[in-house]
Amino acid sequence: MALITVSGLPGSGTSTTCKLLQARLGWRYVNAGEFFRQLAADQGVSLAEMGRRAEADAQVDRELDGRMVDFARQEANLIMEGRLTGWMALRQGLPAFKVWCQAPLAVRAGRVGQRDQQTAEQAAGDIAVREWSEHQRYARHHQIDLDDLSIYDLVLDTAAHDPETVVAQILAALEETR
């Protein structure tokens, strides 16, 4: 398998997991969030404004998805992080090992709060708004239910395991597919 997708809700540990996978495998790593931030910068708007635009206009997501899929088709040995990367790989027929990282909201809010210099309560509120928006947007624009984890090859609880253990579990499962 030359493509690993890592998805999860905010604060679930996807970025940490991807960075560790990259260090272990030496593969290229791309993050859909960075593509989204670049779209916002290209249009001269904030991330919040870009999110509002994405809610109103399915073309924003289509452009982001297209960039990610094109990248995946051109690169060998790639780790792709993003909420929908597993779904994109599935729908585009890209052979991929699809991972979903999950953790309880309290854990995720603590992580996001620490990263963004907020209290866990502030982060939990921001996460709730963002997740509601994304659930609605992905259902409306893509017919994807983010709660449907059936497409993933591996679902990991990142609150129950340290990052190194999470990566070891991914690598072991990946090895079993070979």
- pLDDT tens digit sequence for 109-139: 999 999 989 999 999 998 898 889 889 888 9
Confidence bin at 1 (pLDDT 50/70/90): low
pLDDT of residue 157: 96
For the CA atoms of 63, 129, 154, 88, the dihedral, rounded to the nearest 10 degrees, stands at -10
Q: Which of the two residues, 61 and 24, has the higher pLDDT score?
A: 24
pLDDT tens digit sequence for 38-97? 888 888 988 778 878 888 888 887 888 888 888 888 888 999 999 999 999 999 999 999
Distances (CA, A) of 63 to 57, 98, 108: 11, 22, 28
Residues 9-16, mean pLDDT to the nearest whole number:
94
Domain residue spans in the chain? 3-177
| Residue labelled with tokens 């979903």 | 100
Distance between CA 109 and CA 80 in Å, rounded? Answer: 23
Q: What is the CATH number of domain 3-177?
A: 3.40.50.300
